[in-house]
Amino acid sequence: MLNRLFANVSLLLVLLVSAPGWGSEDVKIFSTEDHRQRFQVLVAELRCPKCQNQNLADSNSPIAADLRDEIYTMLEEGKSDQEIVDFLVARYGEFVLYKPPVKRATLVLWLTPGLLVLIGLAIIFLVRRRQSAPVLSAALGGDEQAKLQALLHDTGSPNNNDDDNGDNR
Amino acid sequence: MSRLKLFIPLMVFVVLAVFLLNGLERDPNAMPSALIDRPVPVFSLPVLGDEARQVDQLILQGQPTLLNVWATWCIACRVEHAYLNKLSGQGVRIIGLNYKDDLVEAKKWLAEKGDPYELSVIDANGRLGLDLGVFGAPETYVVDRSGTIRYKHVGVIDDRVWQQKVLPEWQKVQ
């Protein structure tokens, strides 16, 4: 009896506590599937002005919620993606674009990755070429070469060398 | 030459260190306003305390004005309020933008802490805030005689911020 009462009261408490959550949930009903998909793309590509490392889709800040509502309204009004992006850029600057336009100020941003890849490839190429190059340099003179060979032969094969090297035999 | 090569990691480190050190001193919240040198957006909103009266962007023309975005839910606004009172006492014209706030609380706040604003417009749904590119209160705009935004400061205005950042801009629009 008491247990039952306790269970009922807890259930009531849980419902009371969770109730505010229903209202704040961000449910949007789109008139067309196309609007829904464009909305998803836009909120993923636009940056929250307040919490700067999140896009509008991920951010919980009030301003992000406002901007999501604004984008939703504009989509339903039939505005194009470009119009919506322009609207936000006019207010928050190009800062809100995770995909900045290619222009003078952003050229470094766009070109650096490619440049770094090129530099990386060049380094790999140089290292590979150095590794595959002959070990002996042609700069050594004739008798130097012979001396080098002798030395290499000497130290390189002490085991099958039976003569007076005084090695560990 | 090959000796010099040994210094490449050091040089890379120095370059990185300079960039990172520079980054440390920059405010990550500082964001250039898109509205600098543009007119204050068109609006028509009621006045706090006199809700029957509507004002529009013309209220920001004619004389240099600070447009201060505030709300009672904004903790930092509490911090800067006393300083705004002081500025207002020195004759700086400040128009408030009461941003998405509870009107009863807002009036109580001004009654208790003093009212530095010539008037505060009520932006209940944040529409003007959105048009201004507000992303968090407090924000303060320096608006010149023609109603053009010349400078924007995001965050609390205290003596240091006023002297170093806002005052030079304020003097420019005099």
ipTM for this prediction: 0.73
Contact criterion met (CB < 8 Å) for B130 and A93: no
Indicate the DSSP class of residue B110: H
- Residue A9's pLDDT is 66
Model confidence over B122-147: pLDDT tens digits?
Answer: 999 888 998 988 887 799 999 999 99
Question: B162 and B92 in contact (C-beta within 8 Å)?
Answer: no
Share of chain B above pLDDT 70, in %: 96
- Residue A22's pLDDT is 43
- Residue B58's pLDDT is 93
- Residue A26's pLDDT is 65
- Residue A40's pLDDT is 92
Contact criterion met (CB < 8 Å) for B130 and A66: yes
Q: What is the mean pLDDT of each run of 10 residues along chain A (169 residues)?
A: 66 56 62 90 88 84 87 91 91 84 83 94 93 68 81 67 48
Closest CA to B155 of B171, B141, B168: B141
The more confident residue out of B8 and A14 is B8
- Residue A6's pLDDT is 66
Q: Which two tokens stand for residue B140?
A: 């303060």
How many separate helices (H) and strands (E) can be counted in chain B? Answer: 7, 7
- Residue B118's pLDDT is 94
Mutate which: A51, A85, A91, A126, vs B, most B CBs within 10 A: A91
Q: Which two tokens stand for residue A46?
A: 């636009």
Does A87 contact B at CB distance below 8 Å? no
Does B32 contact A at CB distance below 8 Å? yes
- Residue A20's pLDDT is 45
Does A91 contact B at CB distance below 8 Å? yes
- Give the CATH class of B39-172: alpha beta
Query: Interior CA angle at B125 toward B112 and A49, to 5°?
Result: 95
How much is the average pLDDT of B9-23?
92
One-letter amino acid at B113 equals K
What are the extents of the domains in chain B?
A: 39-172
Report d(CA B140, CA B70) in Å as an integer: 9
Indicate the DSSP class of residue B26: S
Model confidence over B48-66: pLDDT tens digits?
Answer: 989 999 999 999 999 999 9
How much is the average pLDDT of B63-91?
92
Model confidence over B100-123: pLDDT tens digits?
Answer: 999 999 999 999 999 999 999 999
